Amino acid sequence: VNPVTIGPDATLADALALMRAHGISGIPVVESGGTGGHTVGRLVGILTNRDVRFASDPSQKVYELMTRENLITVKENVDQDEAKRLLHQHRIEK
Going by pLDDT thresholds of 50, 70 and 90, the confidence category of residue 3 is confident
pLDDT of 72 reads: 84
Read off the pLDDT of residues 24-47 as tens digits, 9 standing for 90 and up.
999 999 987 455 555 567 889 999
Report the candidate in 2, 1, 18 with the shortest Cα–Cα distance to residue 10: 18
CATH topology of domain 12-69: CBS-domain (3.10.580)
For 20, 35, 51, 78, 90, the CA distances from 13, given in Å and listed in that order, are 11, 10, 13, 33, 30
Cα 30 off chain centre by: 8
Q: What is the pTM of this model?
A: 0.78
pLDDT of 19 reads: 96
Higher pLDDT, 91 or 21: 21
Going by pLDDT thresholds of 50, 70 and 90, the confidence category of residue 21 is very high
**Dihedral sign of CA atoms 15, 16, 22, 27 in order:** positive
Domain ranges within the chain, ordered by starting residue: 12-69
pLDDT of 33 reads: 44
